[in-house]
Structure formats: structure tokens, C-alpha cells
Amino acid sequence: MDIDAFTAVHQHDWKRLDELSAKRRLTGAEADELLVLYQRASTHLSMIRSIAPESQLSAALSTRISRARTRFTGARSNFTEDVANFFVFALPAAFYRLRWLTVIIGAAFILVAWLFGAWVAGNPEVIKAMGSDAELRRYVEQDFVNYYSENPQASFAGMVWTNNAWIAAQCVAFGVTGVWVPLILWMNAQGVGMSGGMMAAYGELDTFFLYILPHGLMEITAIFIAGAAGLRIFWAWVSPGRMKRSASLAREGRSLITVALGLVLVLFVSGLVEGFVTPSGLPHWARLGIGALVLAGYWVYTLVLGRRAYAAGERGDLGRFDAGEVVRTS
């Protein structure tokens, strides 16, 4: 086949395909013509590729066909729109859905931590079992505070961020088991409570709160949110309602994995506070105030944007195109 002659014969059809693909609005006749020309150009491309698959003509015609296909199938949203929709609708709606469960988990966590702290602080035998007096005094008077400044600030913030983001992702991903989230929360509550109890036993409870709260207000809240997401996924499997268990689990999993992605950013902010604010020389009120502002920012974002997005029907799930259709069953 003579490529030059083939091009000369069909060039008019290809140019017309370009014209129709570039038009903003098509009449019914033009839409039909576009489809016919698209099919015809696809046939031409297959013929050219059988002879000269790597030619410039093959690449140019492939581009034309791709542009036409986008024209009649519809273009996906661009990256900027997807990011805006995620932060304005999907993420706040997902957080909003978990607001009450987050508060309940937080209250239970604080209660467990307080009970462990009171048990340690009120029982000298427990203190002795945790280590020698010299070791515990070194921890209370030096190691607890030095932990936040013994490494470079940037690397420490990054280490804290990745560790906490990994814990949050595990809570969401393994929440379906129904065991992982309570176990993680119990272990963390035990650790925080016993550390606070030890500090209280040596008269350093104020130091404990002054160094744990600036970053801990948001950091531990993020773990509560992740735990709430994991338990919601578990409950979707246990109690699917009128849906099949697989469909209920898939819908809730898609919706709440959004939380895991959002918490990566939330914990990044918390990591910055822990790395740069907690060990800083700022007055105590300033460090505590920054931590409180970060937490307040999260709740304003959740309750204001989240309420609006939820009222508009957003649940944090993928769009209809990505999530697919649901087959109704009786």
C-alpha cells in the first residue's frame, strides 16, 4: 500500500474528524458523523499499523482518534478538580460521619488511661516493678523531655509522622477484623496512662501534660478517628442491613479509606508540632495554644464543611463512575 496515496485519499475525513472533535456543541447529525468518522479512522489506523506501525502517520492518526474518543465518551475531571472535591466534599463528609464515634472512643481512651495512671501512681509496688528508682528518676527528670529534642527537628517530625500515619492506616485497614482497633487503642491508652502515672508518682505530672498536649491533642485524636473508621468498616460487615455483606463492606471501605488518606495530612501537621513546637523554647501557654488551635481547626473543618457536604449527599465514597453501579436485589 502506498502510504502517500492512502493519506491523500483519506485526509479529508481525518480533518473533518478533527473539526468535529474540537467543536464545543454538536448537533444530532454532527454527533452521528463524528461516530462514523471515528470508526472509519480506526479502520485506517489498523491498516497503517499493519504496514508501518512506528510511522509518524500512525502516531498522528492515533492522537486524532484518541481526541475523538474523549469527545464522545466524555473527559474525566482534571487533577485540580479531583483534589478540590476531595478536600471540600469527600474528606470532611467522611470525618463528619465519624464525629460521634470519635468522641466516644476518645472518652473511653481517656478513662482507660486515667485508670492505669491512677493505678501506677497509687501503688508503690507497681512503680518498683517498672524499674529501679535511679532509672525511673532519669526517665522522669531527663529522658521524657529530652526525647523531643535529642534528634534533629526535621528528621524527628518525619519519623513521628510516618509512624503515626502507619498506625492510623492499620486501624482503618484492619478494622474489619473487629479486634485490631480495640487492641491498638488499649495498648496506647495503657502506655499513656502508665507513663503519666509514673510522672505523677515523682511529682512531674505538670511536665507530662506540658510536653504531651501540644502535639498530643491532635495526634491522639487522629488515632481515635482512624479507630472509628475501622470499627465502622467492621460494623458494615456485621450488620449490612438490606445490602449484601460484600456490597456493604465495599461501600464502607471505599468511603472510609478516604479517612486514612486524610489522616496522613492531619498527622503531618501533628508531626510538625511535635518536632518544632513541643521542644521549642516558646512559653508553655504558646505551645499549648498552638496545639489547641490545630485541634480546633480540625473540628471546625469537620463540623462546618463536613456538615454541608453530608447534607449535600456526600459520604466520602468514590464517584459514580469509579464506584460502579449497584444491582438491586430483592
Taking only the tens place, the pLDDT of each residue in 268-318 is 999 999 999 998 889 999 999 999 999 999 999 999 999 999 998 887 665
Residue with cell 456493604: 248
pLDDT in tens, 42-82: 888 888 877 777 778 778 888 888 887 777 665 555 667 77
Looking at the chain, the whole-number percentage of residues with pLDDT higher than 90 is: 36
Q: What is the mean pLDDT of residues 171-187?
A: 89
Query: Which residues, in sequence order, are CB contacts of 78 under 8 Å at separation 6+?
Result: none
Q: Please give the model's pTM, rounded to 2 decimal places.
A: 0.73
Ranges 110-114, 310-314, 317-321: which has the least confidence: 317-321
At residue 165's C-alpha, the angle toward residues 78 and 112, to 5°, is: 135
207-223: average pLDDT: 93
Say what the pLDDT of residue 72 is.
66
How far apart CA 162 and CA 224 sit, in angstroms, is 17
Helix, coil or strand: residue 243: coil
Which pLDDT score, from 0 to 100, does residue 322 have? 45
- Answer whether residue 175 shows pLDDT above 70: yes
C-beta of residue 116 within 8 angstroms of C-beta of residue 194: yes
Q: What is the mean pLDDT of the chain?
A: 85
User: Could you tell me if 41 and 13 are in contact, meaning their C-beta atoms sit under 8 angstroms apart?
Assistant: yes
3-state secondary structure 125-155: HHHHHHCCHHHHHHHHHHHHHHCCCCCCHHH
C-alpha cell at position 254: 471505599
Distances (CA, A) of 184 to 156, 157, 178, 224: 23, 22, 11, 10
Percent residues over pLDDT 70 in the chain:
92
